[in-house]
Amino acid sequence: NAGVTQTPKFQVLKTGQSMTLQCAQDMNHNSMYWYRQDPGMGLRLIYYSASEGTTDKGEVPNGYNVSRLNKREFSLRLESAAPSQTSVYFCASSERGTVVDEQYFGPGTRLTVT
């Protein structure tokens, strides 16, 4: 049982390049999330998917797109990377997304945009 996996672990992009961060969970969870973590800012929600086939904006969605490919996979795309998107990105999942459900986190992707 791998839990939540993310690829890649590290990535360096030049300004304007695009890339997709991959996330998969094997816990049969319905809800999935993308966060970014910046020093002194805690974690901020970028997008979430309440269930397969739905996605919604979080606190900081600008510059990102997401795809809930199936129940297991939720990808995050940067179409034209900017230095302000240098961050550590975490994917998470929860069983139902209700107020009592905890979220399970992946190990993170460290992205640097030069």
Partner 1 sequence: GDSVTQMEGPVTLSEEAFLTINCTYTATGYPSLFWYVQYPGEGLQLLLKATKADDKGSNKGFEATYRKETTSFHLEKGSVQVSDSAVYFCGNSGGSNYKLTFGKGTLLTVNP
Contacts with partner 1, residue ranges (CB under 8 A) = 4, 31, 33, 40-43, 45, 48, 50, 56, 90, 92, 96-100, 102-108
CB of 90 to partner 1, least distance (A): 6
Kindly tell me which of 19 and 45 has the beta carbon lying closer to partner 1.
Answer: 45
Q: What angle do CA 90, 15, 7 make, to 5 degrees?
A: 30
Unique residue bearing structure tokens 């550590």? 88
Are the CB atoms for 41 and 35 separated by under 8 Å? Answer: no
- CA distances (Å), 62 to each of 47, 56, 65, 70, 82, in order? 10, 12, 8, 23, 11
Kindly tell me which of 19 and 88 has the beta carbon lying closer to partner 1.
Answer: 88
Are the CB atoms for 78 and 84 separated by under 8 Å? Answer: no
Kindly tell me which of 41 and 82 has the beta carbon lying closer to partner 1.
Answer: 41
Kindly tell me which of 31 and 85 has the beta carbon lying closer to partner 1.
Answer: 31
CB of 65 to partner 1, least distance (A): 18
CB of 83 to partner 1, least distance (A): 22
CB of 70 to partner 1, least distance (A): 19
Distance between CA atoms of residues 57 and 45, nearest Å? 8
